[in-house]
Structure 1
Amino acid sequence: MMENEKLNRILLVLLSLFIVMLGYGILLPILPYYTERLALKDNLDSSLVNFHIGLLTSIYPLFQLLFVIFWGKLSDKYGRKPIIIIGLIGFIIMQVLTGLATSIAMLYVARIIGGILTSSIIPVSNAYLSDITSETQRTKIMAWSGVAYSSGVIFGPVIGGFLSQTPLHLEYSIGVLHLDRFSVPFLFAAMLGLAVLIIISKWLKNTVRTHKFTAKKISLRFSFSKYFIVLLLLSFVMQFVVTLFETVFSIYGKDELSFNSKQVGLGFMLCGSVMAILQPVFATYGEKIMSSKQQIALGLLITGGSLIAFPFFNNELYVYTIIVIFAIGGALVTPNLLSAVSLISKEHTGRNISIQSSTNSIGQILGPILGVWLISGGFYYPFVIAGLIVLVTMGLVLPLLKLKYKT
């Protein structure tokens, strides 16, 4: 394969990853306001609004977790391109249904359809990149995959917050569908998704399978070492508190801080930007200053401490400052955990990373549910309890963690 052709393929696949995560990011600052509007239209008890926000956040990764292996097996059989196309179609359907929803039930349908169909894009896109790159190139290419992923999360909240505050006075109903200003960001994402779908359909070539989808290799017929279990626990806790924070902050910003969706979106943008910029920096240069174990310990301490401190400040500048500190802690932990998992075994790297990914998904499902449940006791509870979970986990497992290469 010519280098130019390979580069074009890589860029197209990264584009599909970016657009899906952009759609995910667009929803983050809008969901509380949008859910509240639909709940009022359905005459639902206002006390249940936060419950629906948590469930709507969790149901998407739940269905992604359930269907990821199914799509991986299909991509092994029919090639990666058709499955990526199905995922993009699902993304467009989800965005249109979300943007035009007139009830909470329609929002659930949109999230479930999106979770089922878009669960193909991220793992199958990474499998495509694996198919067309050599082992020496793969680490670098997967890093770019992470950049595409993070960039969507960075720009999505900004676009969502900005477009939801559009001065256009839209109000139009068609049957069970309804168009208003909250529809604009989702329809914008759908149009971008359609453009990417056309580009992918026309120019991305299907692959001849060279690497089987890694999730297919997961087997329960092997024992986890204590070291691997510790890494999985840390991965779960980090993903759990990050998604809990994302869900609760959007509600906290709306109800407690009186932020509009643009201000909430700015908070998410700061968090995503800091993590995207600092993760490769810490991964490349961090060990020149401190060991991986020390970076993880410091990152957990910063993450836990910032979560506990977060609800005690309501000034906008202080809130954004603590979000940046929280993101710095996450940026210290995440790349070191991924590196440690990848070094456990040369022969089972794909399997181990897939298991870690599934563990992260469970954290994404449980974090929002616990977060909105704790809100009923007051906004201090989810932040403080999440921070304490991080600090207690750090105290319990770090003495067991020896970050060195093990076969």
Structure 2
Amino acid sequence: MKKPLKEQKTVLLILLSNIFIIFLGVGLIVPVMPSFMNIMHLSGQTMGYLVAAFAFAQLLMSPLAGRWIDCYGRKKMIIIGLFLFSVSELIFGVGTHVSVLYLSRLLGGISSAFIMPAVTAFVADITSVEERPKAMGYISAAISIGFIIGPGIGGFIAELGVRAPFYFAAGFALITCISSLFVLTEPLTKQQLLETIQLKKDTNFVSDLKRSFHPLYIIAFIIVFVLAFGLSAYETVFSLYSDHRFGFTPRDIATIITISAIFGVVVQIFMFGKMVDKLGEKKLIQICLIAGVVLAIASTMISSYLAILLITCFIFLAFDLLRPALTTYLSKTAEKEQGFIAGMNSTYTSLGNIVGPALGGILFDVDINYPYLFAAVILFIGLVITMMWKEKQSTGSLVK
């Protein structure tokens, strides 16, 4: 019998802190990157490659990390991931050569591949099917909050020096790592871990990747890819689009993004669980995809600041609800293989995050409206794919 969430507040808080620190660390460095770029004499192309290196390392490591999470335990992978993240931020802070920065980003991608699926699997293990949507909503909110306050904190810390935010992120991650070491208790027994190792001894990275194409999983994984693809394509050009079409200042753009993110966090924390209870994951996913299609197209037809703010609030909300809805659905299909599912979830997300911004940037150079229209098409394809979900593939609240 699993304990109610209210009796596991400390454990849940530590797990959410683990996710939060990763995205806080990403956000912290945003304000100082232009200055850091000038100090290091880096080109825009190099900065782009540094971003890609993180996503590429995460993409390659995620399936393997998923296997290790199931075989060696959630707690070990979380602690290793946090330690690697702390080291990666420290290396970036002290780095004086571009090769060192690449090493930092590769370690950062690997650490993210460990932490994200391990925390997701841990939460799935300790929550009942009824309370899991609420917990997944908290995870999504932790991600959003990290993104929201990261740049603000980074700008404040940067007053101490352009490298200070990296040192802060490294220290914060190390503290969280130590807290996890002493507070978290591995949710799987030694017997369960041994059974998983035995089960997976005849499988490998390639076979796991092939297994992700199983009818039970593939549609949801495609939606994960579509979400990451469409969202990253949309977000990549948002600031460029706002600047080129409307002449918005950085402050105008930051205000829109911040208000939209806060709106999304509030809904995730207080309403996501109730939405899943009432609609089920499948229907909620479809509603969010429809909203994404309509609002992405509407983004090309508006001009007032208030209209842009409203559209952005609701399209970001749709994306924010999609993430935990998909994660909840996948965790219900996983049974004893939460690590495998969470790892593949991370893999398909990384793949979308690599391809989406690249195509979004190319389309922006052709026509500034094309990235939004393209995102709408991709989300519509995702909606059509969800129609292929069959009753026999559904579990829990998906059976409607």
TM above 0.5, one fold? yes
Matches within 5 A, 1:134-149: 137=128, 140=131, 143-144=134-135, 146-149=137-140
Instruction: Answer yes or no: is the 8 Å Cα contact 2:63–2:343 preserved in 1.
Output: no
Cα 1:117/1:349, change in 2 over 3 Å: closer
Cα 1:40/1:235, change in 2 over 3 Å: same
What is the aligned-residue identity percentage?
A: 25
1:190 aligns with 2:170: yes
Aligned with 2:17 (options 15, 18, 21)? 15
Matches within 5 A, 1:41-56: 42=41, 44=43, 49=44, 54-56=48-50
CA deviation vs aligned residue, 1:85-115 (integer Å, no higher than 9, x gap): 3222222233334455566655433221211
- Offset at residue 160 of structure 1 (A): 0.9
Mean CA deviation greater in 192-201 or 209-218: 209-218
Instruction: Answer yes or no: is the 8 Å Cα contact 1:158–1:265 preserved in 2.
Output: no
- Structure 2: segments with no counterpart, 5+ residues: 396-400
Rounded to whole Å, the distance in 2 between the matches of 1:269 and 1:210 is: 46
Residue of structure 2 equivalent to 1:65: 59
Rounded to whole Å, the distance in 1 between the matches of 2:185 and 2:212 is: 39
Residue of structure 1 equivalent to 2:317: 328
- Offset at residue 122 of structure 1 (A): 2.1
Residue type of the alignment partner of 2:14: L
Cα 1:210/1:66, change in 2 over 3 Å: farther
Rounded to whole Å, the distance in 2 between the matches of 1:72 and 1:35 is: 35
Matches within 5 A, 1:139-178: 140=131, 143-144=134-135, 146-161=137-152, 163-164=154-155, 168=159
Instruction: Answer yes or no: is the 8 Å Cα contact 2:79–2:180 preserved in 1.
Output: yes
Residue type of the alignment partner of 1:400: M
Instruction: Answer yes or no: is the 8 Å Cα contact 2:82–2:173 preserved in 1.
Output: yes
Residue of structure 2 equivalent to 1:199: 179
1:233 aligns with 2:213: no
What is the SS of the residue equivalent to 2:249? coil
Rounded to whole Å, the distance in 1 between the matches of 2:136 and 2:326 is: 17
Rounded to whole Å, the distance in 2 between the matches of 1:392 and 1:72 is: 28
Could you tell me the TM-score, scaled by structure 2's length? 0.74
Residue of structure 2 equivalent to 1:382: 371
Aligned with 1:400 (options 373, 388, 397)? 388
Matches within 5 A, 1:5-404: 7-27=9-29, 30=31, 34=33, 38=37, 42=41, 44=43, 49=44, 54-74=48-68, 79-99=73-93, 106-129=100-123, 133=126, 137=128, 140=131, 143-144=134-135, 146-161=137-152, 163-164=154-155, 168=159, 179-180=161-162, 183-204=163-184, 208-209=189-190, 211-212=192-193, 219=208, 224=213, 228-252=217-241, 257-260=247-250, 264-279=253-268, 281-285=271-275, 288=278, 295-311=284-300, 313=302, 315-331=304-320, 333-338=322-327, 340-341=329-330, 354-394=343-383, 396-397=384-385, 399-402=387-390
Residue type of the alignment partner of 1:95: E
The count of aligned residue pairs is 382
Residue type of the alignment partner of 2:249: F
Cα 1:106/1:77, change in 2 over 3 Å: same
Mean CA deviation greater in 193-202 or 361-370: 193-202
Structure of greater relative contact order (alpha carbons < 8 Å, 6+ residues apart):
2
Rounded to whole Å, the distance in 2 between the matches of 1:404 and 1:277 is: 34
CA deviation vs aligned residue, 1:189-221 (integer Å, no higher than 9, x gap): 233223323433454456654544799687467
Rounded to whole Å, the distance in 2 between the matches of 1:23 and 1:317 is: 31
Residue type of the alignment partner of 1:376: D
Rounded to whole Å, the distance in 2 between the matches of 1:255 and 1:109 is: 35
Cα 1:71/1:345, change in 2 over 3 Å: closer
Instruction: Answer yes or no: is the 8 Å Cα contact 1:270–1:323 preserved in 2.
Output: no
Could you tell me the TM-score, scaled by structure 1's length? 0.73
Rounded to whole Å, the distance in 2 between the matches of 1:36 and 1:376 is: 26
Instruction: Answer yes or no: is the 8 Å Cα contact 1:161–1:263 preserved in 2.
Output: no
Rounded to whole Å, the distance in 1 between the matches of 2:110 and 2:318 is: 32
